C-alpha cells in the first residue's frame, strides 16, 4: 500500500504500489498544525520503504 499525503491540497490518497495510477481510496482533511509520520510494522521480517515522490 502506498500513501500520498498532499498537505497543501489537504488530501491523502492510498494506492497499489504496483500501479500508482490506480488509487483505491482518497480523503480530504484540513491541516491546522504540523503533521508527523508514524509507522507500525506488525510482524518481524516486514519492512517499510520511504521514497521521495519524483
For the chain, the domains span: 1-54
**Residue 22 corresponds to which cell in the numbers above?**
490506480
In this structure, are residues 12 and 24 in contact, taking their beta carbons and an 8 Å threshold?
no
Q: Could you read off the pLDDT of 2-38 as tens digits, one per residue?
A: 888 888 899 999 988 787 678 899 999 998 888 888 8
CB contact set of 48 (below 8 Å; sequence gap of 6+): 39, 41
Could you tell me the pTM of the whole model?
A: 0.63
Across the range 35-48, mean pLDDT stands at 84
For the sheet containing 23-28, what is the strand order? 2-6, 11-15, 23-28
Q: Are strands 23-28 and 11-15 parallel, antiparallel or unpaired?
A: antiparallel
Q: What is the pLDDT of residue 54?
A: 67
Amino acid at each position: 500500500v502506498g500513501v500520498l499525503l498532499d498537505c497543501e491540497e489537504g488530501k491523502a490518497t492510498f494506492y497499489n504500489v504496483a500501479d500508482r495510477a490506480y488509487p483505491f481510496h482518497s480523503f480530504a482533511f484540513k491541516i491546522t498544525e504540523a503533521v508527523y509520520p508514524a509507522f507500525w510494522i506488525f510482524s518481524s521480517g516486514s519492512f517499510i520503504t520511504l521514497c521521495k515522490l519524483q
